[in-house]
A = this chain, B = another copy of it.
């Protein structure tokens, strides 16, 4: 018998929506990775470096993000990421997909609650 692992499922649930959240945050203004992690933490979405950095690189390589280096007075230079025009369009698509998913899941849950 395998173990019941709620935490694992919670982690799985977050897959995919991270991309949406990161693009949303960057639509508010440029940000560097550590800043993004803090902002996600504010909304109860805990993401660690090992997750965020590869994801940002992926988004950059697909042309959704650009970046620039900026000096810091309190440590190493920061890599500020910025939403490209393609990224903005893509974000709108993802927002629609997200709404559709929420509706689909909620309608399934609602049907269950009726009985």
Q: Which residues of A contact B (CB under 8 A)?
A: 1-6, 9-17, 19-21, 24-25, 27-29, 39-40, 43-45, 58, 61-64, 86, 90-91, 93-95, 97-98, 100-105, 107-109, 111-112, 114-115
Contacts and interface: CB of A to CB of B under 8 A. Distances in A.
A90 B43 CA distance: 24
A10 to B, nearest CB: 5
Copies in the complex: 2
B107 A43 contact: yes
A23 to B, nearest CB: 8
Contacts of A64: 4
Contacts of A86: 4
Contacts of A98: 13, 105, 109
Contact of A115 (B1, B10, B27, B58): B27
